[in-house]
Amino acid sequence: MSSVSSRTQLVHKSTNHLPATLRDVADLAGVSTKTVSRVVNHQKEISEATRLRVQAAIDQLDYRPNILARSLIHQRSNTLAVIAWGIDYYGPSRTIVGIEQEANELGYSLFLSLVSHPTDNHEQILDTLISRRVEGIIWAIPEVGDNRKWIRTNHLDQLPPVVFLTMESRRGISVVSIDNRNGAKQAVRHLLQLGRRKIGIITGPLAWWEASERFAGWQEALAEAGLEASPSLVAKSDDWSSVYGECGMRALLEQSPDIDAVFASSDQIALGALGIAHQLGRRVPQELAIVGFDNTPESAFFWPPLTTIYQQLVDVGGIAVKTLHEMISARRSEREPLQQLSTMLKPELVIRASSLEQNIAPSFHLE
Amino acid sequence: MSSVSSRTQLVHKSTNHLPATLRDVADLAGVSTKTVSRVVNHQKEISEATRLRVQAAIDQLDYRPNILARSLIHQRSNTLAVIAWGIDYYGPSRTIVGIEQEANELGYSLFLSLVSHPTDNHEQILDTLISRRVEGIIWAIPEVGDNRKWIRTNHLDQLPPVVFLTMESRRGISVVSIDNRNGAKQAVRHLLQLGRRKIGIITGPLAWWEASERFAGWQEALAEAGLEASPSLVAKSDDWSSVYGECGMRALLEQSPDIDAVFASSDQIALGALGIAHQLGRRVPQELAIVGFDNTPESAFFWPPLTTIYQQLVDVGGIAVKTLHEMISARRSEREPLQQLSTMLKPELVIRASSLEQNIAPSFHLE
DNA sequence: ATGAAAGCGCTAACAT
DNA sequence: ATGTTAGCGCTTTCAT
């Protein structure tokens, strides 16, 4: 092969950025490609002398095996992909952290694809990822409206294994979620235990599964206590931001002036609600208790510090990747996956001063 | 090739998940692989009749070209990688959003690699990415201590093109940054213009380039005004969190009880500082003005709303990818890149009520 | 307009 | 202990 020597000679010219190949190394070391391959893959059947000689050539040429070629042969890319929305929000970004950690742990590289809106078309993203032969996909776009109806239309078994995040469990698909309904229930039960009876809610955008679940949790907790989930206790939001916390709080105080607690569907909403409560002179928590959802780092420093619901989103990401890995292994060995492939985690109540008066430092009182 | 027909027959068995190949399609359509290739790549020299027949076979087999094989031939993977820290923080995550958008725009897929700490070892990550033949790398790990000394040790020209984020510009490397020093100056000048004269600072972790730049900006702005940057006006932090806002504010009020303004090096720090100011009964901004840095979405809803510095971090990400693309193209065509490959963006001051009394809604006052 | 053959960089199977 | 051959799935000459 005449190309060989010429390439080898070029390698150290600064204008040549073609990476060295197995052939280059083999020629420089005066052995066959298979021998080099043995060294690279740490196989034992090789004499120490040649191993050293080959290693020297590898170092000299700064040789790196081409994973693309390897993947072709092995029919394995060792890559996963996550398709996500909103990584500039706390929750989604935490989930990605968990996904990346576990993927790395299991030896996968991770492709990241983002959509601007949960309802954006994702066909092209999917096409590209399939063409790249990713071995599995984590679907981290929140379920909004019917943006997952394609699961039925498009036959999932023509895709690589997929794990869905944050949705209702369904037969035949793998889902990893936080139990949002339970989280909301915990929040409202906590308020009930404190003796509150007029408990309002500022919802998230109700087309979102998470928002509607939290709403349902609020309703169920009130029902348990024999209280009515009257419409005058509800303020709806178009998104999760603090703006709707402000609007929602104003609306609630107008609709139900005697309200004594509010469950805000996100910490950001809670922040907006707190601001309005202060402006309108309602003391928190004495006259009005407020609970949020997310446990963002800032929430502990709100004024007063916010009682909220902690979601184990890093865990969700990690479990999603483990699940995906299991599905991949199962499909490869043509066996059925062994275990239950959907997981639902119960979030945890974090009690702070926005609901529990005792938690307020003395100097924190206003009066 | 005898393997062909057997594979084709298997394709629709549910246990067979081997993707269809060009060969499979060619055999089904009764043409050569080259002809299929022409259809897939939308080349013109083909009769409409065969094109349709081939397309039918493609659809039937759900064929997707294998990008791995293509990449091998073209010596191009069409992938970029970002190595990042802290995507669960607002700033870094915004940058990633910009990177992903622009990468997608330019036709690259994006690998995401995360490190837990800025000083973590990254050798292995780099090795993997090079083996995957990524065409370029965005270095989004903040500069902390000497965690970038490897740039000199390791010869950068043995790597794919790299763009560094958030550091001092240096000859021979491409950097995209926000001018943190200028941002801090804008914040402090704003306070000076409001007539404040005892302006303290709560720094970030000073081993970080961004933190030390903001600190330097504070010093320079004071110097411009002929004021002394006395140590009693400085409180140092170990990280960017609100805890240090609390500690720092306490320390400052003790060291300099007559302080009339504080520049907090992050919005989170500012949040902690605000809390302590309230606890200790200092009215913000009347007695004590506070300015933050980042313009997180929450900062507009702090109490009072926070004056802060807006960083165009999505833009930083986008520019980084554009720069990288330019470097890749230049290297491929063996020409020198045409333009200046480092960029420094000036952040913007966002004025809210924590510094400017007029900005406070009347009902917002406490007295 | 279509096809045959070579080869991208690597590994697996089978020599020697 | 080491080398030879074939081929992963695709594209690229170069034929026809």
For residue B294, give the amino acid letter: D
Q: Which CATH architecture has domain A3-65?
A: Orthogonal Bundle (1.10)
Minimal CA separation from B78 to chain A, in Å: 10
- Give percent above pLDDT 90 in chain A: 82
Nearest nt to the B70 alpha carbon by C1'? D10
**Does the pLDDT at position A65 exceed 60?**
yes
**CB distance from B168 to chain A under 8 Å?**
no
Compute how many other C-beta atoms are within 10 angstroms of the C-beta atom of residue A55.
16
pLDDT score recorded for residue B137: 98
Residues of B in contact with A136 (CB under 8 A): none
**Does the pLDDT at position A354 exceed 60?**
yes
Q: Which of A284, A241, A182 is nearest to A190 (CA)?
A: A182
Nearest nt to the A66 alpha carbon by C1'? C9
Minimal CA separation from B194 to chain A, in Å: 25
**Among the partner residues A96, A157, A279, nearest to B361 by beta-carbon distance:** A279
Question: What burial letters (b/e) apply to B319-358, b meaning 16+ CB within 10 Å?
Answer: bbbbbbbbbbebbeeeeeeeeebbbebebebbbbbbbbee
Minimal CA separation from A69 to chain B, in Å: 7
SS3 assignment, position B97: helix
Q: At residue A174, what are phi and psi to the nearest 5 degrees?
A: -95, 130
pLDDT score recorded for residue B153: 74
pLDDT score recorded for residue A83: 98
For the domain with range B75-179+313-346, which CATH number is right: 3.40.50.2300, 3.40.50.970, 3.60.15.10, 3.40.920.10? Answer: 3.40.50.2300
- Rounded distance between C-alpha atoms, residue A186 and residue A181, angstroms: 9
- Beta carbons of B133 and A303 less than 8 Å apart: no
**Start-end ranges of CATH 3.40.50.2300 in chain A?**
75-179+313-346, 180-311
pLDDT score recorded for residue A17: 62
**Among the partner residues A64, A97, A114, nearest to B114 by beta-carbon distance:** A97
pLDDT band, very low/low/confident/very high, at B17 (cuts 50, 70, 90): low
Residues of B in contact with A316 (CB under 8 A): none
- Residues 50-69 on A with a CB inside 8 Å of B are 62, 64-69
Minimal CA separation from A260 to chain B, in Å: 21
The predicted model gives A109-124 an average pLDDT of 96
- Residues 241-270 on B with a CB inside 8 Å of A are 241-242, 245-246, 268
Distance A46 CA to D9 C1' (A): 31
pLDDT band, very low/low/confident/very high, at B24 (cuts 50, 70, 90): very high
Q: What is the pLDDT of residues A91-111, one digit of tens each?
A: 999 999 999 999 999 999 999
What are residue B200's DSSP bridge partners? Answer: B262
pLDDT band, very low/low/confident/very high, at A229 (cuts 50, 70, 90): very high
pLDDT score recorded for residue B330: 92
pLDDT score recorded for residue A308: 98
- Beta carbons of B114 and A131 less than 8 Å apart: no
Q: What is the pLDDT of residues A37-47, one digit of tens each?
A: 999 999 877 88
Nearest nt to the A133 alpha carbon by C1'? D9
Nearest nt to the B47 alpha carbon by C1'? C1
pLDDT band, very low/low/confident/very high, at B282 (cuts 50, 70, 90): very high
**CB distance from A90 to chain B under 8 Å?**
yes
Minimal CA separation from A222 to chain B, in Å: 30
Strands (E), A205-288: 234-235, 261-264
Query: Beta carbon of A37 within 7 Å of strand D?
Result: no
Q: Which two tokens stand for residue B112?
A: 């995401």
- Residues 112-141 on A with a CB inside 8 Å of B are 112-114, 127-133
Q: Which of A178, A165, A169, A98 is nearest to A347 (CA)?
A: A178
- Residues 20-49 on A with a CB inside 8 Å of B are none
pLDDT score recorded for residue A196: 97
For B51, B53, B63, B67, the CA distances from B44, given in Å and listed in that order, are 10, 15, 20, 21
Strands B289-291 and B343-345 turn out to be unpaired
**Does the pLDDT at position B49 exceed 50?**
yes
Query: Beta carbon of B119 within 7 Å of strand D?
Result: no
- Beta carbons of B68 and A133 less than 8 Å apart: yes
Compute how many other C-beta atoms are within 10 angstroms of the C-beta atom of residue A335.
10
Judge whether B249 and B287 are in contact, CB under 8 Å: no
**CB distance from A15 to chain B under 8 Å?**
yes
Judge whether B278 and B265 are in contact, CB under 8 Å: no
pLDDT score recorded for residue A6: 34
pLDDT score recorded for residue A184: 98
pLDDT score recorded for residue B238: 98
Distance A34 CA to D2 C1' (A): 8
- Beta carbons of A275 and B19 less than 8 Å apart: no
Half-sphere exposure in the Cβ direction for A344 (13 Å, CA)? 9
Least confident of A31-40, A176-185, A314-323: A31-40
Q: Which residue is nearest to nucleotide C3 (CA to C1')?
A: B32
- Rounded distance between C-alpha atoms, residue A244 and residue A238, angstroms: 7
pLDDT score recorded for residue A338: 62
Residues 6+ apart with CB under 8 A from B332: none
Nearest nt to the B48 alpha carbon by C1'? C1
Q: What is the pLDDT of residues B306-356, one digit of tens each?
A: 999 999 999 999 999 999 999 999 998 877 776 668 999 999 999 999 999
pLDDT band, very low/low/confident/very high, at A340 (cuts 50, 70, 90): low
Query: Beta carbon of B232 within 7 Å of strand D?
Result: no
Distance of alpha carbon A183 from its chain centroid, rounded?
18
- Residues 172-211 on B with a CB inside 8 Å of A are none
- Rounded distance between C-alpha atoms, residue A283 and residue A274, angstroms: 10
**Does the pLDDT at position B6 exceed 50?**
no
* Mean pLDDT computed over every residue of chain A: 91
Distance A34 CA to C14 C1' (A): 13
pLDDT score recorded for residue B172: 84
**Does the pLDDT at position B253 exceed 90?**
yes
Q: Which residue in this structure is represented by tokens 């009130």?
A: A222
Query: Beta carbon of A109 within 7 Å of strand D?
Result: no
- Beta carbons of A133 and B72 less than 8 Å apart: no
pLDDT score recorded for residue A46: 85
Nearest nt to the A33 alpha carbon by C1'? D3
- Rounded distance between C-alpha atoms, residue A192 and residue A214, angstroms: 16
Least confident of A216-230, B32-46, B202-216: B32-46
Minimal CA separation from B333 to chain A, in Å: 10
Provide the whole-model pTM: 0.93
pLDDT band, very low/low/confident/very high, at A359 (cuts 50, 70, 90): low
**Does the pLDDT at position A337 exceed 80?**
no
pLDDT score recorded for residue A16: 52
**Among the partner residues A75, A87, A109, nearest to B97 by beta-carbon distance:** A87
pLDDT score recorded for residue B156: 82
Query: Beta carbon of B37 within 7 Å of strand D?
Result: yes
**Chain A residue with minimum CA distance to B104:** A113
CB pairs under 8 A between A and B: 154
pLDDT score recorded for residue B339: 61
pLDDT score recorded for residue A335: 76
**Among the partner residues A90, A110, A297, nearest to B111 by beta-carbon distance:** A110
Nearest nt to the B44 alpha carbon by C1'? C1
pLDDT score recorded for residue A11: 33
Query: Beta carbon of B78 within 7 Å of strand D?
Result: no
Compute how many other C-beta atoms are within 10 angstroms of the C-beta atom of residue A274.
29
Minimal CA separation from A114 to chain B, in Å: 7
| Distance spanning both ends of chain B, measured CA to CA | 89
**Start-end ranges of CATH 1.10.260.40 in chain A?**
3-65
Specify the CATH number of the domain B180-311: 3.40.50.2300
Judge whether A252 and A259 are in contact, CB under 8 Å: yes
Q: What is the pLDDT of residues A254-292, one digit of tens each?
A: 999 999 999 999 999 999 999 999 999 999 999 999 999
- Rounded distance between C-alpha atoms, residue B291 and residue B308, angstroms: 5
**Does the pLDDT at position B16 exceed 70?**
no
